[in-house]
Amino acid sequence: MLPANVERDGMSNYPHLLAPLDLGFTKLKNRVLMGSMHTGLEETRDWNRVAEFYATRARGGVALMVTGGMAPNKEGGVFPGAAGLFTTEDITNHKIVTDRVHEAGGKIAMQVLHAGRYAYGPECVAPSDIKSPISPFKPKALDAQGIEKQIADIVTAVVRAREAGYDGAEIMGSEGYFLNQFLVTHTNRREDEWGGSYENRMRLPVEVVRRARAAVGQDFILIYRLSMIDLIPNGSTWDEVVTLAKAVEAAGATIINTGIGWHEARIPTIATSVPRRAFTWVTKKLMGEVSIPIITSNRINTPQVGEDVLTDGCADMVSMARPFLADPDFVAKAQAGKAELITPCIACNQACLDHTFSGKMSSCLVNPAACHETELVLTNAATPKSVAIVGAGPAGLSTALAAAQRGHKVSLFDKADEIGGQLNMAKQVPGKEEFVGLVDYYHAALAESSVSLFLGQTVTADDLTGFDDVIIATGVMPRDPQIAGQDGPNVLSYIDVLRHKAPVGQRVAIIGAGGIGFDVAEFLVTNDSPTEDLDAWLTEWGVGDPQNMRGGIRPEGPQPEAATRQVTLLQRKAQKLGKGLGKTTGWIHRAALQMKDVQMIGGVNYEEITKDGLRVSFGETRDDPQLIEVDTIVLCAGQLPERSLADALIAKGVTPHIIGGADKAAELDAKRAIDQGTRLAAQL
């Protein structure tokens, strides 16, 4: 929420981003689009909840929002039961959403998403019967009649969107979905009028736009999401992209939005290790080729980045999706000249995409109220209390800010000289630079709040008298793996490496392959973070200019910088390393380390550490004993709750609230710490 007295001076900071855009029949109040996200909200059929999600963002000032993808028919749904506007009742329900958005002064377009061979079900259809590498289902190749039915269903969905009160529709033509599948020979091997030449392959998307425009009339926003760089073998050439853009414009699109990479591409496109605005240069190539507005997207997460993108002439508008989960008031805060108070999306995917792909409701690591707007509400406290919070990691910080927002008098203590707790180690890891922005945000938010902050204070139970509530958020301590020889000078903990920057040898063994083991490995093999250097990152992942190579794939493939150390990552479990990492990002961490020749060994017993390295054996019978010759061994063997203060308080008869790592260290992450802290504050 914005403080009441802030000056509205953002326009001078972001003149391009905040400028209106005239579409002729309607005007957008600024150049910010909230991109489509599948949150799972529509599937709850709790229309008040769906409406509140979008209305909250409309109140926050975004010019236009796009809903999650709505299926045009059963076979095109991303998964069985995917939401769509199939009945009159569906239209009535969606009207609840559009009315609420309009009352809030916003505009909203409905995305029509036909998944084609990405539809997770045996009924899926596609131009040809070629299975996708990311789906177990082989699609049925459509006959001519089947194609006509798909076009008619997509157009009907667009018409129903208009009936439901939407200001427009986005036709999803990128990311390797149905329309995209027609465009490239990778998935379209047809020999009829819908395949073969490019003119034939682009016929379907163009027909969809042409017929949709004819059906809805001129005064309805039609966005076409166009894949600008497929990042797959045999993807579109740049000439084809331009040809399609022109054809889509001629067919009646109002705006062209950018899609980057097919879902099956093995190149990250939105993860936190992708540099900010990594692909806006691709969209820029289309500027001037068409006369309708063009939107760019991917890894734009601050008003300044958005402004820079527009100033550089990369697009007419910017699309941000996850940043609106992180902060619904993104635009309002930019307008108010308070960008530092925007809760930043750190592109972690942990509570949004990882949830979606696990069949769970989306939310946001930094904003647990996202998609829970009707349930997690920070009301003014009936009786303001004095609250002591010990520990200014994510658990303590989120509790402090939320409690203060409710009117409680909060004192926040940390023994360290800085806020952030373990986030200060996370931000050292190459590819995790977004954590710097998160800690900066907490600084700004604390400064703006009424929280009294006491740093450099190791709090004892005796210090915590006289408060109405005491909250222990003291985090964790490293687990002691009790390996013979671990007291030697060649053994370090992850804290020594990341926090104290202890010298590390050339050959390293890492004990423990959880999130921290992987991060330490990345830290030890990387010199300069490619996330901070776009050219280096594009080279590392083998991304090239689509004008010179089909789909933007370099023929030579990924070309990472050589590893700065020789690292072996170990775990006791006899399973693939990194299995517990994020559902949508684990493959990136694994691929990044494999590119740097990190050895990954599972199923080991740690026998002994000597001056020459680490002795291991395998299996219950302790087979195949061997010495891994290394200079340094780094312990990343998990964590235990730091509860000494909580225990001391309980011994004195005080019952504190215990949150974050201090509560439970197993499978703890910042998502759980922040969620738990915010929910506790909501109830104080």
Residues with catalytic annotation? 177
E strand residue ranges, 175-325: 221-229, 255-260, 295-296, 317-320
- Taking CB under 6 A as the rule, does residue 671 contact ligand FAD? yes
Q: Pick one of ligand SF4, ligand FAD, ligand NAP, none as the site partner of residue 68 (Cβ within 5 to 8 A by kind).
A: none
- Taking CB under 6 A as the rule, does residue 492 contact ligand NAP? no
Quick one: which of 260, 309, 318, 346 contacts ligand SF4 (CB under 6 A)? 346
Pick between residue 208 and residue 516 the one whose CB is nearest to ligand NAP.
516
Quick one: which of 196, 384, 407, 514 contacts ligand NAP (CB under 6 A)? 514
Pick between residue 223 and residue 345 the one whose CB is nearest to ligand SF4.
345
- Interacting residues with ligand SF4 between 353 and 392 (CB under 6 A): 364-366
E strand residue ranges, 328-421: 386-390, 409-414
Quick one: which of 642, 675, 679, 680 contacts ligand FAD (CB under 6 A)? 642
Concatenated DSSP letters of 534-592: HHHHHHHHTB--TTTSGGGB-TT---PPPPSSEEEEE-SSSS-TTTTS-TTTHHHHHHH
Give every CB contact of residue 385 below 8 A, 6+ residues apart in sequence: 408, 409, 468, 469, 684
State the minimum distance, in angstroms, from the CB of residue 228 to ligand SF4. 22
What is the number of H-type helices and E-type strands within the chain? Answer: 23, 27
For residue 574 the two structure tokens come to 């006899």
Strands 639-641 and 476-478, by their bridges, are antiparallel
E strand residue ranges, 208-362: 221-229, 255-260, 295-296, 317-320
- The size of the interface with ligand NAP (CB under 6 A), counted in residues, is 23
Largest CA distance in the chain: 82
- Rounded CA gap, 99 and 58, in Å? 11
- Taking CB under 6 A as the rule, does residue 270 contact ligand NAP? no
Identify the helix (H) or strand (E) that includes residue 32: strand 32-34
- Taking CB under 6 A as the rule, does residue 658 contact ligand FAD? no
- Rounded CA gap, 430 and 510, in Å? 17
Quick one: which of 513, 628, 659, 662 contacts ligand NAP (CB under 6 A)? 513
Helix (H, G, I), strand (E, B) or coil at 330: helix
Quick one: which of 140, 284, 554, 572 contacts ligand NAP (CB under 6 A)? 572
Q: At what angle do helices 47-59 and 88-103 cross, to 10 degrees?
A: 30
For residue 368 the two structure tokens come to 């647990």
State the minimum distance, in angstroms, from the CB of residue 500 to ligand FAD. 13
- Taking CB under 6 A as the rule, does residue 237 contact ligand FAD? no
Q: At what angle do helices 670-683 and 394-405 cross, to 10 degrees?
A: 30
For residue 275 the two structure tokens come to 């540099």
- Taking CB under 6 A as the rule, does residue 471 contact ligand FAD? no
Helix (H, G, I), strand (E, B) or coil at 7: coil
Q: Pick one of ligand FAD, ligand NAP, ligand SF4, none as the site partner of residue 394 (Cβ within 5 to 8 A by kind).
A: ligand FAD
Q: Pick one of ligand NAP, ligand FAD, ligand SF4, none as the site partner of residue 634 (Cβ within 5 to 8 A by kind).
A: none
Pick between residue 372 and residue 432 the one whose CB is nearest to ligand FAD.
432
- Taking CB under 6 A as the rule, does residue 499 contact ligand NAP? no
For residue 679 the two structure tokens come to 């929910």
Which residue carries 């200079």 as its tokens? 631
- Taking CB under 6 A as the rule, does residue 516 contact ligand NAP? yes
Contact status, residue 404 vs residue 392, Cβ threshold 8 Å: no
User: For ligand NAP, what does the binding mask look like between residues 620 and 649, x meaning CB under 6 A?
Assistant: ----------------xxxx----------
User: For ligand NAP, what does the binding mask look like between residues 663 and 682, x meaning CB under 6 A?
Assistant: ----xxx-------------
- For residue 27, the cross-strand partners are 22
State the minimum distance, in angstroms, from the CB of residue 395 to ligand NAP. 13
State the minimum distance, in angstroms, from the CB of residue 422 to ligand NAP. 7
State the minimum distance, in angstroms, from the CB of residue 178 to ligand FAD. 34
Q: Pick one of ligand SF4, ligand NAP, ligand FAD, none as the site partner of residue 416 (Cβ within 5 to 8 A by kind).
A: ligand FAD
- Rounded CA gap, 597 and 566, in Å? 8
- The size of the interface with ligand FAD (CB under 6 A), counted in residues, is 38
- Taking CB under 6 A as the rule, does residue 216 contact ligand FAD? no
Helix (H, G, I), strand (E, B) or coil at 27: strand
HSE-up of 433 (CA within 13 Å, CB side)?
14
Q: Pick one of ligand FAD, ligand SF4, ligand NAP, none as the site partner of residue 325 (Cβ within 5 to 8 A by kind).
A: ligand SF4
- Rounded CA gap, 182 and 164, in Å? 29
- Rounded CA gap, 17 and 29, in Å? 10
- Taking CB under 6 A as the rule, does residue 442 contact ligand FAD? no
Identify the helix (H) or strand (E) that includes residue 170: strand 168-173
Quick one: which of 101, 371, 511, 553 contacts ligand NAP (CB under 6 A)? 511
- Taking CB under 6 A as the rule, does residue 394 contact ligand NAP? no
Q: What phi and psi values does residue 675 have, to the nearest 5 degrees?
A: -60, -45
State the minimum distance, in angstroms, from the CB of residue 184 to ligand SF4. 29
Quick one: which of 208, 423, 588, 592 contacts ligand FAD (CB under 6 A)? 423
- Taking CB under 6 A as the rule, does residue 350 contact ligand SF4? yes
- The size of the interface with ligand SF4 (CB under 6 A), counted in residues, is 14
State the minimum distance, in angstroms, from the CB of residue 279 to ligand SF4. 17
Helix (H, G, I), strand (E, B) or coil at 679: helix
- Taking CB under 6 A as the rule, does residue 260 contact ligand NAP? no
State the minimum distance, in angstroms, from the CB of residue 429 to ligand NAP. 8
- Rounded CA gap, 140 and 128, in Å? 7
Interface residues with ligand NAP (CB under 6 A)?
Answer: 350, 479, 481, 511-517, 519, 571-573, 580, 582, 636-639, 667-669
Interface residues with ligand SF4 (CB under 6 A)?
Answer: 322, 325-326, 345-352, 364-366
Interface residues with ligand FAD (CB under 6 A)?
Answer: 348, 350, 390-396, 413-416, 421-423, 425-426, 429, 458-459, 473-476, 498, 515-516, 519, 642, 645, 660-661, 668-671, 673
